[in-house]
Structure 1
Amino acid sequence: MTRAARALLLFFLCVGLLWGLDAAFPVPPAPQYSPLVLAADGSVLHAFLNPTQKWRMKTELREITPALRATIIEKEDRYFYYHPGVNPLALVQAAGRNLFGRGRTTGASTITMQVARLLEPKERTVGNKLLEMLRALQLEAHYSKAEILQLYLNLVPYGGNVEGVKSAALIYFQQPPDYLSLAQTVTLAIIPNRPRGLVLGQNNDAIRQERNRWLRRFQQQGLFPNQDIEDALLEPLDVQRHAAPTLAPHLARRLVRQFPGRASVASTLQRGKQAKAEDLTRNYVRRLHELGITNAAVLVVNNRTRAVEAYVGSADFRDALNKGQNDGVQAVRSPGSTLKPFLYALALDKGLVTPKLLLPDVPTNFGGYQPENFDKRCSGEVPLDRALAYSLNIPAVRVLSDLGVPTFTTQLRAAGFRTVAQRAPHLGLSTILGGCGATLEELTNLYVTLANGGNYQPLQWQHHEAKQRPAAPGTALFSDGAAFLITDILAQLTRPDLPVGYETSIRLPKIAWKTGTSYGRRDAWSIGYNKEYTIGVWVGNFSGQGSPALTGSDIATPLLFDLFNTLAYNSPNNWFQPPASLDFRLVCAETGRPPGENCPNQLIDYFLPGVSSGLRCQHQKEVLLSADARYAYCRACAPATGYRREMYPNLLPEVAAFREAQGIPYRRRPPHNPGCQLVRGGREKAPSIISPLANTEYVLNKGEQQQLLLSCTTDNEVRQVSWYINDQFLRTAPATERVFFRPPAGALKISCADDHGRNTDIRIVVNEL
């Protein structure tokens, strides 16, 4: 074998041996870092202890400034870029000093060797020193010089449980490493050699003297400009240990759980907005404690990017007594009336309603469900815009009944309502009044959808997602025309949910907003938006305990206004403009429909061309009367001569019954011709029994002589009705009278017959205890 072949063989044997040793003794794993959640600008919002309960925040390469790099290398290992991990010359010099006792005893450790020791701490012996040197050579083979320097800066100790330059910079100087002054940078460079003797906050004077000694040494070496050194020498050192950043604790915990193992997660939160939102929420809830209200949650969203810029899960994360660690942004609560704008937007797009269309607001039985308005009052008939602005319940339930619950819940599912998606087959008309679960996150994004012309997209939590989000239109939940009309209504100031004292406030923000209060006053909501931002507010108790004072208008809206005034005070002074899909038309003031033949009072209303109903107004109806005006004729029973024509209000039976019961005067048509055989016995306008509820079981207390209410709605021609219990006559009463009776126990058949011979039956069961 030739000499060259032997050399080549020897080379491959050495390479194989090194490869085998590298595989048998792999590089130590990367250190476990403290999980960090960053703001949109890259600053640290929230830091967590690493699994070993240390503050070890990862210093990124971009955070290693030239000054920090130069200081560390000059102080620790000036030949760092020239040796393979071990400096032979330094080893010889150290051996000579240690052997002959001349100069300071040293170990000639390079930065790479220190990294090896920090990754695998061992007792300082000659054997371990040799292993440390081998590890240094191995690290140099696996990592670049920049990566080794980064590892060093992430592992150096600063006393206690603080490790790494970034941890020390944030905990002691409350700044990231790349924001430190030269004096601060040198301070952090000198401490790792004496982490127990030079403790920031305890030995500041000694640290300042040592810092200045090194600054003068660097000046002699020409490492930094003289003026920079002189300025650094004059800089005082008055530092103390601060708590690690703890902003946005709920979102931080959410993101860390979502992305386990990451050293940092970049969020979309704006640091200034987050801090202000937390302060406002905490201070506001403190004032509510005496009312039995202990918590609140806030979400601030940028409408253009859908990026969440502030996220407050509770008033105080550390308040264990009031369950402060619960996340109110994700908590499923009753949404109260906050879904009404979306119901009306869908109804507008279906052509069922327009803003000035009059809706019945009277006690109504919707197949056994009898909603009530929040103030227990009814208005008879109200235009849609007033029904929404005043958050009336009965008109909303009627519109949902016309639209269909499945149509409504399908759109909510498309908007990411998870609880609605789970319970959709079981939801009914009560959905619109809070009978379904929703979160502040889901509701706020629906209002962002309103602000974006009906286009829905998920909210953005991570910075890179918001930055790289495609400009796709998203899912169209409703039209831009419907979105504008709802916004126009919600921006009105003449409404009952304006907080007391805000009527004349010069700081009242220009926003569209909607409030909501859940059953039992357990949840108060207020969600508002302008062109730039949408802010959602929930106030309540995580325990579910209600409070008499807890309403959306009185409790949630003041916080909403304060947030807008503080966070969005410099928003552009512009507002939403009507889209091209909208147009104007004249409508009758009596009904809100396009004018018919007898509509002298007209007003202007928006409508969606090609979508909104063109059914003309018929608020008056021609009636054929006998000569003495005692009876009305239908076309079938009208005589050939001797009758006259007059116009009468064409009211819905339930509206007529409400006016009668309330004593509201209106022109009532005479009773129908008693001799007419065509309609006698007909069921097309039979009475509708609204109490008791059909197919319902009633439990009465035997000792209290409790009674049941009999009530019905009838055609406005009906004057009297007769009530029957199990086909036994009970009594005759005016059609609008509320009749009470003591029912026998057992199954009951209740019948109501009007004075036209039309009859309705229902069945109930009565049990006595």
Structure 2
Amino acid sequence: MKRRSAIRLFTGIGVVALLLWSLDRLFPLPPAPLYSPIVLAQDGTVLHAYLNPTQKWRMKTELREITPVLRKAILEKEDRWFRWHYGVNPLALVQAAGRNLSGRGRTTGASTITMQVARLLEPKERTLLNKLLEMLRATQLEAHYSKDEILQLYLNLVPYGGNVEGVKSAALLYFQQTPDYLSLAQTVTLAIIPNRPRGLVLGRNNAAVLRERNRWLRRFGAAGLFPAQDVADALLEPLDVQRHPAPTLAPHLARRLVRQFPHQAIIRSSLQRSKQSKAEDLTRGYVRRLRELGISQAAVLVVNNRTRQVEAYVGSADFRDFAGQGQNDGVVAVRSPGSTLKPFLYALALDRGLVTPKLLLPDVPTNFQGYRPENFDKRCNGEVTLERALAYSLNIPAVRVLNQLGVPAFTEKLQQAGFQNVKRNRAQLGLSSILGGCGASLEELTGVYVTLANGGRYAPLRLASPPGPLSFREGEPRRRGSESSGSPSLQERASGGEALLSESAAFLVTDILSQLTRPDLPLGAASSMRLPKVAWKTGTSYGRRDAWSIGYNRQYTIGVWVGNFSGQGSPALTGADVATPLLFDLFNALAYNAPNDWFVPPAALDFRLVCAESGRVPGENCPNQVIDYFLPNVSTGQRCQHVREVLVSGDGSYTYCRACAPAAGFRRELYPNLLPEVAAYKEAQGLPYRRLPPHNPQCQRVRGGRELAPTITSPTANTEYVLNAREQQQLLLSCTTDNEVRQVHWYVNDQFLRTARATERVFFRPKPGPLKISCADDHGRNTDVLVTVTELE
């Protein structure tokens, strides 16, 4: 009999449980409320807030923001038995029914906090039937959520008048603080308004709100809820508040993160509020002074090198500047990077053993397979060391090094460094990519300099911090029994990275970039002792449309872009003159009096003596030697050959090769061993140098290989030239030759044109159509190029 009763009991329980489960599945809880997306700084303060999809300010209150004071005030006022009932308080229902039937006391519905949440989630007309449905929903809520989560939902949904909902929205819009930073008086103020949101409107009915607040403070004090002294102090606190605009710091990053995480109510960015505010103020004030120069915008990125977190992100000088297209994000906009990639190129060349800091590079007009770059100031320097070429941002040496390294090797490294435009257009990129021919963003460029600051190791920049343990995914309340998944620490995630460069190459480039004189100080200024030491590089795009300045030290990397989003150039727009002052304003503001610990040479780096005339390992004739860094087992050990031994006739009028040298009557002399283009430059500029005498005219041997043949620098091979017939325009013929060459012979379509000096510029008027231009030197070596000429009437 007992066994049969037990079976019936368990069967009944099972049927009821199945019925409840079926009802729960048939009538699921309403969806989670739509929150206002908010973006937080590293310290948890709100940087930027948006209206939710229903145009309400409903910012999500996190569990950690529900302080004990707020919890006590809400529970004491709204539902003392909240912790003990299961959504419905039977005793309160009986008491309310008695009062309502007898007509004594205030009419009440005996709503618990859980029942109020059910009503706020599904607003309905207040009827008896809807009250019963509200009770069922409350029970259902208790089955799905913990008490803390139900209280959190309540505090996120309570009305505060107008389109303001939730305690966090009210705290920010009226007190400009999050709930966990409010005083006792402010907390009680927010606790009492939801019952009368239309009558107690902050900023409009402050006197009424003050009276009601003090009344409840006294009640809480009498109940012993808070210490008597705290209540007395709160009663003396004035209430002079008004509604403030929602926070709007970092609008560009906030918009970017909200788009990236569309279902997340609270997004924790990597920004530091004080640095962000300072960067915005400095950028806005600086661009205001540039407007008379036709420059309307700037963008700034500040990165912590140790963590790779972005601590300040300024997409434009003024987000609300519609005339200047201020809503464009200059941090991600793809622009011409100018010369800002040169440090990365030279570091790669150092790692390949192609160059060292003291190596001399030709800085003369050069034709690189049809591409003829020019320096920014239109001048050449003959030969310069690599460190001078980088420090002064010379274009021709950079293109020469890229030509030696190879464009594919360079663009492959840029792709590994996260350059998306390079990845998409890598097949079309050429030598011009080092001078701005490949599009890049401020974020990508700054990431490369962070790589230099981190010893050549690359990792993407971090815009958002890892979520805290109390945050819920996609803005929904966490279910009972759920646990936040652990995530690696910030230090663990920031360490490591992909090695794009060696630590030695990164140090050498940093050492060169840090030798530049700061433009914001006079030489030897005593005040510079407290200012941060910085390695920095500028860049200016073609047409002066973009000005760049990017700098770094051990702590920070700061990238600055200045220009116009319309793409309009300005004569004053250069990296050195326009972008660099803002760069150092930012460094001085963010890192003033910071520890000036600087980079130290890595153990893998060594130094050696090199010839001062070439920067190579000294040969037999190198009396002038200097110390230079090098990478052991990597840097080239090629011996210096800046001079060569030549057999000269007794009177010095001819040179001999080994085949035609007489048995006697000659002497051995040392002559400069210049590259043909360097010799041609010196000749054209009238610069003195010791030139070889002509070769023995009686020598019948054609000497040298194809590599010593003349190089035609004009016209450019496989190019179409359009000439104006009315202006009688002509075509220029020029070449570079070996040092011994005195004369060259020009041919057009295999017809002799004329003989000229090796360095002479020849002009002639060609006929329209395809042309074969040939140049032969006085040693019988020949070079051809094919061009097309079109004539306009």
TM-score, normalised with respect to structure 2: 0.94
Q: Deviations over 1:740-765 (max 9, x none)?
A: 22222122222223333433222211
1:525, distance to aligned residue in structure 2 (A): 0.9
Secondary structure of residue in 2 paired with 1:21: helix
Deviations 1:381-417 (A, max 9, x none): 0000000000000000101111111111111111111
The residue correspondences of 1:448-527 to structure 2 (distance < 5 A) are: 448-464=450-466, 467=490, 469-470=492-493, 473-494=496-517, 499=519, 506=527, 509-527=532-550
1-side partners of 2:146 and 2:671: how far apart? 93
Aligned to 1:351: 353
Question: Cα distance, 1:23 vs. partner?
Answer: 2.1
Aligned to 1:695: 718
2:637 counterpart residue number:
614
Question: What is aligned with 2:693?
Answer: 670
Query: Is it true that 1:105 corresponds to 2:139 in the alignment?
Result: no
From 306, 317, 320, the equivalent of 1:318 is 320
1:3 CA displacement: 5.6
Alignment of 1:743-762 (within 5 A): 743-762=766-785
Deviation at 1:433, TM superposition (A): 0.7
CA drift at 1:556: 0.9
Contact 1:86/1:110 (<8 A) preserved: yes
CA pair 349-641 structure 1, distance change in 2 beyond 3 A:
same
Pairing 1:53–2:55 present: yes
1:686–1:758: 8 Å Cα contact kept in structure 2?
A: yes
Aligned-residue offset at 1:9: 4.3
**Percent of aligned pairs sharing the same letter:** 78
Residues 307 and 491, structure 2, Cα contact 8 Å, conserved in 1: no
| Residue 602 (structure 2) pairs with residue 600 (structure 1) | no
Kept after mapping to 1: 8 A contact 2:532/2:594: no
Equivalence map 1:615-630=2 (5 Å): 615-630=638-653
1:502 offset after TM fit, Å? 5.8
- Secondary structure (helix, strand or coil) at the match of 1:724 reads strand
Aligned 1:299-698 pairs, distance under 5 A: 299-464=301-466, 467=490, 469-470=492-493, 473-494=496-517, 499=519, 506=527, 509-679=532-702, 683-698=706-721
Aligned-pair CA distance for 1:705: 1.0
Matched, 1:209 2:211: yes
Deviation at 1:471, TM superposition (A): 6.2
Contact 2:306 2:494 in 1 (8 A): no
After superposition, the C-alpha distances for 1:545-576 in whole angstroms (9 at most, x for unaligned) are 11111111111111111111111224322100
Q: Match of 1:703, SS?
A: coil
1:249 matched to 2:251? The reply is yes
Q: TM-score, normalised by structure 1?
A: 0.97
Letter in 1 for 2:626: L
Contact 2:457–2:500 (CA under 8 A) maintained in structure 1: yes
CA contact (8 A) 2:391 2:512 kept: yes
Q: Which stretch of structure 1 is more off in the superposition, 79-88 or 697-706? A: 79-88
| 2:730 is the counterpart of 1:707 | yes
CA distance in 1, matches of 2:684, 2:338: 29
**CA displacement 1:468-525 (0-9 Å, x = unmatched):** 644653211111111111000000125xxx5476656635641001111111111111
What secondary structure sits across from 1:761 in the alignment?
Answer: strand
Q: Distance in 1 between matches of 2:15 and 2:757?
A: 112
Paired letter, 2:535: A
CA distance in 1: counterparts of 2:705 and 2:502, whole angstroms: 43
| Residue aligned with 1:382, SS | strand
What SS class does the counterpart of residue 585 from structure 1 fall into? strand
Give the letter for the 1:110 counterpart: T
Which SS does the other structure have where 1:704 is aligned?
coil
Partner of 2:284: 282
Q: How many angstroms does 1:135 deviate by?
A: 1.6
Partner of 1:263: 265
Which residue of structure 2 lines up, in the alignment, with residue 139 of structure 1? Answer: 141
- Give the match for residue 45 of structure 2: 43
Question: What do residues 268-299 of structure 1 show as CA deviations (whole Å, max 9, x unaligned)?
Answer: 11111111111111221121122121111111
Q: CA deviation at 1:8?
A: 4.5
Once residues 783 and 417 of structure 2 are traced to their aligned partners in structure 1, the CA distance between those partners, rounded to angstroms, is: 42
1:107–1:601: structure 2 CA closer, same or farther, 3 Å change rule? same
1:268 touches 1:466 (CA, 8 Å); kept in 2?
A: no
> Which runs of 5 or more structure 2 residues have no equivalent in the other structure?
467-487
Quote the offset at 1:729 in angstroms.
3.4
Are the counterparts in 2 of residues 500 and 554 from structure 1 also a CA contact under 8 Å? no
Counterpart residue type for residue 749 of structure 2: N
Kept in 2: contact 1:306–1:466 (CA 8 A): no
User: Shift of residue 352 of structure 1?
Assistant: 0.8
In the other structure, the counterpart of 1:125 is: 127
3-state SS, counterpart of residue 732 of structure 2? strand
Q: CA deviation at 1:21?
A: 2.3
Which stretch of the first structure deviates more once superposed, 397-406 or 737-746? 737-746
- Residue type matched to 2:446 in 1? T
Report the counterpart of residue 36 of structure 2 in structure 1: 34
Q: Secondary structure at the match of 2:356?
A: coil
Equivalent in the alignment of 2:87: 85
Verify the 8 A CA contact 2:307 2:495 in the aligned structure 1. Answer: no
User: Residue 169 of structure 1 aligns to which amino acid in structure 2?
Assistant: A
SS at match of 2:300: strand
- Quick one: which of 738, 742, 752 aligns to 2:765? 742
- Describe the shift of the 1:302–1:203 C-alpha distance in structure 2 as closer, same or farther (beyond 3 A): same
Look up the equivalent residue of 1:414 and give its one-letter code.
Answer: Q
Q: Distance in 1 between matches of 2:45 and 2:206?
A: 26
Aligned to 2:294: 292
Residues matched between the structures, number = 766
Q: Classify 1:479/1:423 alpha carbon distance in 2 versus 1 (closer, same or farther; 3 Å).
A: same
8 Å Cα contact 2:520/2:581 also seen in 1: no
Q: In structure 1, what is the Cα distance between the partners aligned to 2:267 and 2:416?
A: 28
The verdict on how the C-alpha distance between 1:216 and 1:339 changes in structure 2, with shifts beyond 3 A counting, is same
Amino acid at match of 2:347: A
Give the distance between the partners of 1:456 and 1:31, measured in 2 at CA: 41
Distance 1:449 1:502, change over 3 A: farther
Whole-angstrom CA distance in 1 between matches of 2:705 and 2:284: 65
Q: Using the alignment, how far apart are the partners of 1:7 and 1:687 within structure 2?
A: 106
SS in 2 for 1:577: coil
| Residue 684 (structure 1) shift | 4.5
Q: Verify the 8 A CA contact 2:532 2:591 in the aligned structure 1.
A: no
Take 1:759 and 1:8, find their aligned partners in 2: how far apart are those partners? 105
- Higher mean alpha-carbon deviation, 678-687 vs 12-21, is at 678-687
| Residue equivalent to 1:62 | 64
- Name the Cα RMSD after superposition: 1.8
Query: Structure 1 5/379 Cα, relative in aligned 2: closer, same or farther at 3 Å?
Result: closer
